Copies of this chain bind each other. A is one copy, B any other.
Amino acid sequence: MTRTVVHRVHVEFGDCDPAGIVWFPNFFRWVDASSRHFFRACGVPPWQETVRTHGILGTPLVETRATFHRPASYGDDLEVRSSIEAWGGKSFTMVHRIVRGETLLAEIVEKRVFARRHPDDPARIQAVPAPEDFRAKCD
């Protein structure tokens, strides 16, 4: 069974565009937060700490697919329901379902990697295998 962690979002006026609905880059903002909360909820330390203990500075996104079914507007209370659906060698696939009540508004699938600074060039980042201890916590 995959574990699902819920991240709650209250849609603000400033999250909406002149059409009065959520401007879509904000959905990615919330999904990014939810992917971090997922790890924290599973017991993985914050990235400030993992950068010291494992060299890992986060889980940058390498691919995403999103489908938007219905708009949201300000005042709405949303849930982002996040789970890891697959683990690759250095990557994992996370699925986020954004709902209002039981209405599915959007579904966003992400492929992310664990990353550290590139040893040869600190301006670049490099994918590394998911630490075993992190993965064990999330299953």
Contact = CB atoms under 8 A, between A and B. Distances in A.
Interface of A: 12-14, 16-21, 23-26, 28-29, 32-33, 36, 46-48, 57-58, 60-68, 71, 73-75, 115, 123-125
Contacts of A18: 13, 16-20, 47, 57-58, 74
A70 B27 CA distance: 22
A73 B48 contact: yes
B62 A67 contact: yes
Nearest to A35: B13
B60 A67 contact: no
Given A29-B25, A61-B24, A16 B17 contact: yes
